[in-house]
Structure 1
Amino acid sequence: MNKENKLKLENLIKIVANAFAFEICSLNIQTNKNPIVIEIILKKANGDDISLDDCALFNTPASDEIEKSNLLNCSYVLEISSQGVSDELTSERDFKTFKGFPVNVELNQKSSKLKFLNGLLYEKSKDYLAINIKGKIKKIPFDEVLKISLCTLKD
């Protein structure tokens, strides 16, 4: 598949996605497989999670538009999926869901050599993040936190 047809296909899929209030995170066409594989990763425009039902709902209209376009003259497999779960915690929902889970906190402390902390996610407020490090609660002001990610707990 040439670049021009790939671009046409991407634009076509974006139009279908917009009709469902979805956005295309990525579109990957694996021409080295037989049949070729078209992978479409979706997200909802409003930020909500994509469900399996959403993927199934999108499959038929996307496939129909691909067929009508005549951009592909070969058989293909269409795979629709969501972005999945990120290791980085960003939303209030993430902090509630993963309370008690092991986290790695990357710090932005200019006056300290300490750059990372590992512990169990304990609490998040508007001003600080609290993690449990071997039974002791450490409160870290948010202006010192660069990133909070799920991890495996290190001893």
Structure 2
Amino acid sequence: MNKENKRKLETLLKKVANQWGFEVCRLNIQTNQNPIVIETFIKKTNGEDISLDDCAIFNTPAYDEIEKSNLLNCSYVLEISSQGVSDELTSERDFKTFKGFPVNVELNQKNSKIKFLNGLLYEKSKDYLAINIKGKIKKIPFDEVLRISLCTLKD
């Protein structure tokens, strides 16, 4: 499959997903498989969790549109999946859910001498992230934070 057809396929699947209240997070096309495998990872646009039924619901219209498009002239397997659970904290819901959990905070090297901090997630405001490091609360301005992810604490 050439790059142009891959781009067209991705655009097509994003359009179909949008019509059904989904968003395509990632598309992997495994052309080294026979038949090729089209892995489509979706999430709901309203932020709710994806269920197995949601994947099944999206499968039929996605398959129908691929068939109508004539982009593929070979046999293929269409797999619809949720994006799964990520260890990266991004949404307000993530920060509320994982308050008190161990996190790894990757810092912007331009603004900080330290690259990583480990601690317990304490608080997130619009301006800063607070983590508990061995009983002391450290407030980190968000312009210094690159990534916040769940981890296991290191002594």
Bin of the TM-score, shorter chain as denominator length: 0.7 to 0.9
Q: Residue 8 of structure 1 corresponds to which residue in structure 2?
A: 8
Q: Which amino acid aligns with 2:151?
A: C
Q: Does 1:45 align with 2:45?
A: yes
Question: Are residues 67 and 104 of structure 1, via their aligned partners in 2, closer, same or farther at CA, if it must alter by over 3 Å?
Answer: same
Matches within 5 A, 1:18-97: 18-97=18-97
CA contact (8 A) 1:124 1:130 kept: yes
Task: Calculate the TM-score normalised by the size of structure 2.
Answer: 0.78
Determine what percentage of the aligned residue pairs are the same residue: 81
Alpha-carbon distance, 1:28 to partner: 2.3
* Total equivalences in the alignment: 154
Question: Are residues 139 and 56 of structure 1, via their aligned partners in 2, closer, same or farther at CA, if it must alter by over 3 Å?
Answer: same
Gaps of at least 5 residues in structure 1 are none
Question: Are residues 66 and 153 of structure 1, via their aligned partners in 2, closer, same or farther at CA, if it must alter by over 3 Å?
Answer: same
Instruction: Summarize deviations over 1:104-134 as a string: whole Å, max 9, x none.
Output: 1234598874443211223334554332323
Gaps of at least 5 residues in structure 2 are none
CA contact (8 A) 1:104 1:117 kept: yes
Distance (whole Å) between structure 2 residues aligned to residue 130 and residue 7 of structure 1: 41
Q: Does 1:151 align with 2:151?
A: yes
Q: Secondary structure at the match of 1:38?
A: strand
Q: Residue 137 of structure 1 corresponds to which residue in structure 2?
A: 136
Q: Secondary structure at the match of 2:42?
A: strand
Task: Calculate the TM-score normalised by the size of structure 1.
Answer: 0.78
Instruction: Summarize deviations over 1:36-68 as a string: whole Å, max 9, x none.
Output: 101112233344443332211100111122223
Alpha-carbon distance, 1:24 to partner: 2.1
CA contact (8 A) 2:112 2:144 kept: no
Distance (whole Å) between structure 2 residues aligned to residue 9 and residue 89 of structure 1: 30
Distance (whole Å) between structure 1 residues aligned to residue 80 and residue 136 of structure 2: 42
Q: Secondary structure at the match of 2:84?
A: coil
Question: Are residues 13 and 124 of structure 1, via their aligned partners in 2, closer, same or farther at CA, if it must alter by over 3 Å?
Answer: closer
Alpha-carbon distance, 1:144 to partner: 6.3
Q: Residue 122 of structure 1 corresponds to which residue in structure 2?
A: 122
Name the larger-Rg structure.
Answer: 1
Distance (whole Å) between structure 1 residues aligned to residue 95 and residue 81 of structure 2: 24
Distance (whole Å) between structure 2 residues aligned to residue 113 and residue 28 of structure 1: 37
